[in-house]
Structure 1
Amino acid sequence: MVGIFGGDALRSLAAATPAEQVERIEAFATYEQGLIAHVQGLQTPVAEMKPAQHKPLRLKVNPYEGKEGENLHFWVREVALAMDAALISTKRLQVAFALSNIG
């Protein structure tokens, strides 16, 4: 308590009459309730908050043409990363995306 209110405030409260103590505690409680109401007024109600919407990231994948030096494994991994970034979740769309990148 001393760390929160300070030693002088606690000594003053201890030296006060019981009626003064009640009055000070009630004044502090009123002040605290006012602060809480103010902070709650600043917060956006949950009903008004919009849900977070993930925006897909569009990545360009070079088409796989089977040329010398091209690695099919790396190309498949690159397509998979692009699908994850673009939030492509259904198998049908994943296949369509992969096929669209075959040269």
Structure 2
Amino acid sequence: MGSLLGEAAFAGFPNISAEQQKARVEPFDKYDSSLIAHGSAAAQEAARATMRAEAQSAAQASATNSASFAARPTTTKPVKMSVPTFDGKDSESLVFWVREIESALSAGQIYDALAQVAFALSNLGGRASARAWTMARETATPGYFTAWSFMEQELRSTFLLGNVGDGLHGRCPSGSGSDRALPTSAENF
């Protein structure tokens, strides 16, 4: 305090009574305490303002990030899948066609039974065989194919077994007891 007020203010200070010293120092003490309190309050308010600004900035950043995520579509984009058509002429192609259909169904995440049937129907080809057969079944009994697994079984029983028999019959030597040659050919087939 002596440096602030000067040495003259405190020149006779040691010669006066304690009460007089207290009376002289008390206003300076109050002033000093109020400055400290004001500085402390200002520092606390500045700290609060900084924290509010940081919180607001973080909230805006979060809202911006949320908005950018929310702006993205939540639905998946349709995937174009190309599967060769099955025309019913070759039994081996049915096996591969079924495998490709199942692969496309899982890749396209097609889980609805009717959507699976519709996808499989859209990949049937040929006028006289597979497509005509399935359309005849659907026309005769609407909703005949209710699930892909049922449609697959029907296609296999109709086209796979018939074609295997045709293939065996074609491999039998002509004019040589085809009834006896058939089991042998079936084992070799």
TM range, normalised to the smaller chain? 0.5 to 0.7
The Cα offsets for residues 64-93 of structure 1, whole Å up to 9 and x where unpaired, read as 345365361x43232123234444332112
Total equivalences in the alignment? 84
1 or 2 for the larger relative contact order (CA 8 Å, sep ≥6)? Answer: 1
Report the counterpart of residue 93 of structure 2 in structure 1. Answer: 70
Runs of 4 or more above 3 Å deviation: 18-26, 68-71, 84-89
Aligned-residue RMSD, C-alpha: 3.2
Partner residue of 1:98? 120
**Equivalent in the alignment of 1:40:** 59
Mapping of 1:1-103 within 5 angstroms? 19=37, 23-42=42-61, 43-44=63-64, 49-50=70-71, 52-65=74-87, 67=90, 69-70=92-93, 72=95, 74-103=96-125
**Distance (Å, rounded) in 2 between the aligned partners of 1:52 and 1:88:** 17
Please say if residues 58 and 82 of structure 1, whose CA atoms lie closer than 8 Å, have aligned partners that are also in contact.
Answer: no
Partners of 1:31 and 1:68 lie apart in 2 by 76
Structure 1, unmatched stretches of 5+, are 1-17
Larger radius of gyration: 2
CA distance in 1, matches of 2:76, 2:97: 25
Question: What SS does the aligned partner of 1:70 have?
Answer: helix
Q: 1:91 to 1:68 in 2, by over 3 A?
A: closer
TM-score by length of 1: 0.55
Q: Percent identity?
A: 30
TM-score, normalisation: structure 2: 0.34
